[in-house]
Amino acid sequence: MPGLARRHTVRVVTAALLAMVPTVVLPGGASMAEGTTLPAAAVPGAACEGLARSLTARATDVEKVGQLFVPWVAQSTADGPTELERRRIQERGYGAFNFNGGTLHGPEHAARYTNQLQEWAADTRLGIPVLPTMDMEIGAAHRFSVMGPGRGVATPLPYPMGLGATRDIAAGTTSARITAHEARAVGFAMNIAPVADVNTNPENPVIGVRSFSEDTGLVSEMIAAQVKAYQANGVIAMPKHFPGHGDTSLDSHTHLPTVSYDRETLERVHLAPFKAAIDAGADSIMTAHVVVEAVDPELPATLSKKVLTGLLREEMGFDGLIVTDSMSMAAIRERWGMGGAAVMAFQAGADMIMASDDESYDAILAAVRSGEITRKRLDQSVRRVIELKCEYGLFRDRYVDPARAAAAFGTPESLDAAEHISRESVTLVANDGTLPLSTDGSQRIVVTGVTHGGTADQLPNLVSETEARTGATVADHGWRFGSQPSEAKIDEVVRAAEAADVVIVGTFSKATPPAQQVELVEALAATDTPVVVLSLGLPYELTDYGDVDGAVATYAVDLWGSPSRSAVLAGLDVVFGAQPGGRLPVTLGEHYPFGHGLTY
């Protein structure tokens, strides 16, 4: 296997790293005894490659197969990992864990959690460290039950579409740097991001604000910048979802999408960001559960050798880790089963399998023991995994200091940067002079629509945040994220609006806006009271509401209701007078072109 270090900046490998195993075999067959110090001029890549070969040669089938898997940590506990995680590490050899939303309760809790996983791993025969990972599309805050902005808590940053709206590549770099700094402080060394999908389909129900833009060039620039920044700051980047999920009309969590564009479109529009990621040195790439007819009309990319080996490895020259999206998603589970699909994905060229339970692990182990998967093929992926862990310092320093973790979160520099970037991302789409609203307390304001809730109740309360920005009388006529108004509720809100000076409506759409939401906004627009729409999700919805007096796009909430608090707060800041900096990273029908954005 080619040395992965050829794609990296040189990293120092110390004696402590080598002491984690009894013997490190170097190229050419030479060995170094435990505790031997590498000379300063030694090539770190050679040491990591030798370490990976040595450990792979000594590992049992169970230990090898475990290194291939990334199970979910989905149970929220105050004390840390459970007996399930211990058994998976010490009995099955699992080598990575992916954390679900809300499982981490703060920096100290997260640090203790990953330390316990590493302690269990250190207490195994080979002592191979685990690779803690999670989706950090809006920063490390993405998977915490409590996020900032604030000192000592995880810093939320704009979603990629918000970063795209800034048109500032440096903002993408800074966001990645802040994310990596906070992630490594609590033991995380891999980010299942950035999203490299080009959102060319306005009705895409799963990518949306997670994409930087509909523009391939802008996506490619942001992807390259973030890959470099993540990895320069010690976190493996994982651009996703190869070879592109941006033109789908179905959500692969529930259905199997197919895209039918031709090969030229695939290469020109959807592959270009992945090519940029590879050129930038990306050490891993995640697959898409999408049938790409231009390459393989029969199988989704995750299971297709034509896509993973033929296209990604051979044509595009990628030699890093190929990681599957979750095998528990309906696109895969309901057609091939998680176990059978795991074997197919591995045979197609994947190195690591993301799976929620042990069915996929058992299937791979059985396939190895039966000879269906050769040990040569198995060893190839195991070496890739171990070598990358070595190169990112996990053998050298697997533990973090819980007592110091909070000091790395929400630093003054990070908070200032997050606030600036968030305001630069907010786009003033429409304004007839109603905006900005006064902060002098003279207006009677109705706040309605989606005003609170979201994942772990993280969405800033639009009512209280409006009150904090003005001394005005604020009437609360809103509802939780995920709810929709009844006819009676719409009538109630309209009556309240008729007695008010202005109405702020929080709206959310993950694709086509809900009919009740459209009815509400249209009914309010028919009154004589000015109406301001604060779009929390995809901005495409703004073309469905007719003539409103003001419209602000925040790109702040994804399809699951996970908000970037910084982006929501920045949107309200703009409503009350902060200068917006964003320009549309997508086209809104015939009304607002790509690049549109007003200022005060």
In sequence order, which residues have a C-beta less than 8 Å from that of residue 40 and are 6 or more positions away?
A: none
Per the annotation, the verdict on 325 as an active-site residue is: yes
Termini Cα distance of the chain = 57
Cα(582)–Cα(424) distance, integer angstroms: 5
Order of all β-strands in the sheet with 473-480: 427-431, 550-553, 531-535, 502-507, 444-452, 473-480
Q: E strands of 339-493, at which residues? A: 353-355, 427-431, 444-452, 473-480
Six-digit token string for 537:
């999700």
The full length of the chain comes to: 600
Name the active-site residue from 253, 255, 420, 596.
253
Between CA 101 and CA 41 the distance in angstroms is: 43
Identify whether the C-beta of residue 493 lies closer than 8 Å to the C-beta of residue 448: yes
Residues facing 503 on adjacent strands: 446, 531
Choose the catalytic residue: 168, 197, 283, 325.
325
Task: Identify whether the C-beta of residue 218 lies closer than 8 Å to the C-beta of residue 200.
Answer: no
* Interstrand relation of 473-480 and 284-286 (parallel, antiparallel or unpaired): unpaired
DSSP string, 485-529: --HHHHHHHHHHHHTSSEEEEEE--SSSPPHHHHHHHHHHHTSSS
CB 247 within 8 A of CB 293: no
Question: Which residues does the annotation mark as catalytic?
Answer: 253, 325
